[in-house]
A and B are shown apart, each in its own frame.
Chain A
């Protein structure tokens, strides 16, 4: 069975600073994918970044980067130069490759960016 753990229920960061949101995972699948999503109060789940388990380099998408440490089974999201609009819930998720499209989610981290 797959499991995602997000240990930070809430995080605060000052505008323009960087912030790291933690995510650890557990799986017995040899091949898997890791996702981060942002969910504003409107409810829409916005895709941010994806990392495949066999990717050699950490994924980056603009101000978002994924700090992937396979041996530690961690996939932390780093947001650089935080903006007020980054305030939202952030979910880490994983999916086993080569079969079901089912995503397993963590409980999320509520990020608040202060001016």
Chain B
């Protein structure tokens, strides 16, 4: 059974550009959540999708957006990149809002903004 797949693994972008990151959850999982990890702020929740609907959103500016497709794959987009957006972006896959369900992460996308 394949795990959570994030692409690309590494990305270098210039300030002002935009970027799209992809996350394919474990087969059968319908919930995808995104997190940003930086040395200073640690792991911070970005947003959560279930059945193509955004269920929850973290405290990030509107430059950060996401979506989920009918096959549960999710993308997140960051527009007008800033140096501070350099981080490891992780996505987590789970069955959905079901009691006692585990959450599994992908390998992450390491974004560097120069």
* Chain A contacts to B: CB under 8 angstroms: 31, 33, 35, 37, 42-47, 50, 52, 91, 93, 95, 97-108
Contacts and interface: CB of A to CB of B under 8 A. Distances in A.
Contact of A98 (B48, B88, B97, B110): B97
B42 A108 contact: yes
Contacts of B100: 33, 50, 52, 97
Interface in B67-101: 88, 90, 92, 94, 96-97, 99-100
The contact size tier of chain B is 20 to 34
A99 B97 CA distance: 6
10 contacts: A31-B99, A46-B105, A47-B102, A47-B105, A93-B43, A95-B103, A97-B99, A101-B55, A101-B97, A105-B42
Given A35-B103, A52-B99, A91-B43, A101 B48 contact: yes
A97 B94 CA distance: 13
Contacts of A97: 99-100
B99 A98 contact: yes
A37 B105 contact: yes
Nearest to B96: A101
**Interface SS majority for chain A:** loop
A82 to B, nearest CB: 23
B53 interface: no
B66 interface: no
Contacts of B97: 98-101
A102 B33 contact: yes
Contact of B48 (A31, A33, A100): A100
Contacts of B55: 100-101
